[in-house]
Structure 1
């Protein structure tokens, strides 16, 4: 069944848990067809009390051009690895032009950067909580967030988060979900290892601004034997996958319709994928309708042929052509920043604030 676009969904009620304000001053200190309701968890939630290993696969999209809108900046504080090893420098993410309510994304990203970046001796729960508290978060909530960071805090001596993309999982009048897609190399002894995760950060608006209320880091699950299409997708240089999406495909939980469409679209476009399955909300934001993402039947694209979807300078013709190509590849539900006409069904194409920064491509069972 084709679901109504998320912008037509009813807003969720106020969240029960009180959280801290991360307004402009606070987040400066730290320097859908495809989403779930503010009350629902993300797909593949990491256990609250553990920090599982992140996928070992490197992502070609982790080296996004610093000059592209919405990508990490080229400069930033270095994460000290100490003797015997060195990590890449941190690159604080900055919103580019075209963002809707960029302060929401910045609040979410600064928390992820703070929790997921540490030097030797600073990987403890207490140190992580202190980094969150430095953003203006009350100590009790900061401690909860540090413990529940899951795959954002892998077992390592040091780590540095470099955000690949920050996209909306949903944005309504008083609640939001920001999906923070991360590259996260870690240091173990003298060895620097690739890794990364995706974190669904939930926020709520108050009279004083936006508050972070919870985070749900990805937990893609163990790798399984791969079929030929999955192997081809992972080997295709025109498909850029972040670490959590690589792990999703290796887990065997991604539907063949998704893999087939990715390969078909790669025949005419280079695409940077932000989210496939894990780290994504369970329900269409603000509703109790299940999203296609946790079922392994959808993927989101944040950059097409080197052009960020959110950037107003990106060609509307290019984005429209990609959306129509996605429909031709079998997607029943294509969302993006442009409301297209036509389609096999009345609801095949949709557009709303949530999808101003990416193209959603969904499939039926």
Structure 2
């Protein structure tokens, strides 16, 4: 039996397929598929709801950090929906709906109390809703109004009864009559109960201030074949991402278009379900949710594309490459790994 590398991103135990098929539920905004504030996993999430601010169901596409805009009106909100191939869609829906509710508000409703009210309208108990609103951090920037548009929701970890869902989002905000770009990544923690998945805590990204950058960091930020969400771009601008990571991104961009989901902030500090530090918070890893425009989680995406990308990541210097396919033939016995957490993205980690 191959044991995981002591610093690998493999969680303590992976959720079984049998566990996945158990009845699950998600908090939702009173959609037709919901009953008593919970939605069964067998029901497709609905975007039509009087309590929801979202106008049309769609998965928002990944993009680089947006440029400043002279617009004076916010774009419409778009409710994220899981696509094909998701292992535990109800957990992701529960996490995303809360992030959308806390991070989207009309003029004058950006305060913590109003945010708690929006969370409570999802069916979350008022006391818990207040606690979660207080934890929103970078999801509630100072602004007159804001709209969350989710880029991706990926696992930071998934076990039978607990999960971490990393909600990666753009968040344009209206301030002083002008729309300004923004966005963050939120590590949403959940527990499975008899009634479904319940959000228990939020850990929003806090990338830190921008500093003078290395040549590799400048090149990554300028590379159009590397799509960076706002928090990941801010991580790089903070100077806290190791050049080994940045050089690997640039190398991979020579052959692939890669859509990054998470680099440093907004990721669990420890490998989920363990007490082993993750490479992400140390600036020594990045995750990719889409390769050449094809989502990793989508069963229609060519496995040859994904396995080729994983092997290319290893050739670029990664000691720890995880994804939806278990590969063999690495430089070490543990260079490649696969589990349910990495069913929806490719992890690329470095020792230095």
TM superposition score normalised by structure 1: 0.82
Of 222, 227, 244, the residue aligned with 2:214 is 227
CA contact (8 A) 2:116 2:129 kept: yes
240, 243, 267: which one aligns with 1:253: 240
Shift of 1:85: 2.5
Q: Which residue number in structure 2 is paired with residue 71 of structure 1?
A: 59
Take 2:12 and 2:101, find their aligned partners in 1: how far apart are those partners?
A: 34
Deviation at 1:148, TM superposition (A): 1.3
From 181, 184, 192, the equivalent of 1:194 is 181
Per the alignment, residue 328 of structure 2 pairs with 341
Match for residue 104 of structure 2 among 104, 114, 117: 117
1:257-296 deviations in Å (ceiling 9; x for gaps) = 0000000000000000000000000000100000000000
SS at match of 1:6: coil
Instruction: Give 1:314-325 correspondences, 5 Å limit.
Output: 314-325=301-312
Q: Does residue 316 of structure 2 align to residue 312 of structure 1?
A: no
Kept in 2: contact 1:21–1:136 (CA 8 A): no
| Structure 2 CA distance for partners of 1:313 and 1:21, relative to 1, 3 Å | closer
Q: Is the 8 A contact 1:113 1:162 kept in 2?
A: yes
Q: Which whole-Å CA distance do the structure 1 matches of 2:273 and 2:212 have between them?
A: 36
Partner of 1:6: 10
CA deviations on 1:91-117 (whole Å, 9 max, x unpaired) are 100000000010000000000000000
> Matched residues in 2 for 1:6 and 1:206: separation?
25
Q: Which residue of 1 aligns with 2:255?
A: 268
The offset of 1:22, in angstroms, is 2.7
Match in the other structure for 2:67? none
Contact 1:10–1:287 (CA<8 Å) still a contact in 2?
Answer: no
Task: Compute the displacement of 1:8 (Å).
Answer: 4.4
Change (3 A) 1:10 1:354: closer
2:338 maps to which residue? 351
Q: CA deviation at 1:3?
A: 3.7
Return the offset for 1:10.
Answer: 8.4
Q: 1:270 to 1:157 in 2, by over 3 A?
A: same
Instruction: Name the structure 2 match of 1:155.
Output: 142
Q: Offset of 1:71 from its aligned partner?
A: 2.1
The answer to whether residue 199 in structure 2 is matched with residue 212 in structure 1 is yes
CA distance in 1, matches of 2:233, 2:204: 15
TM-score, scaled to structure 2: 0.84
Note the alpha carbon deviations across 1:60-92, whole angstroms, 9 max, x for none. xxxxxx99xx8239xxxxxxxxxx931001010
Matching residue within 93, 114, 119 for 1:127: 114
* Cα deviations by residue, 1:318-353 (Å, 9 ceiling, x for unpaired): 000000000000000000000011101111000010
2:155 counterpart of 1:168: yes
Structure 1 residues 123 and 5: alpha-carbon distance in aligned structure 2, compared to 1, 3 A threshold: closer
Instruction: Select the residue among 196, 200, 225 that pairs with 1:238.
Output: 225
Q: Secondary structure of 2:244's match?
A: helix
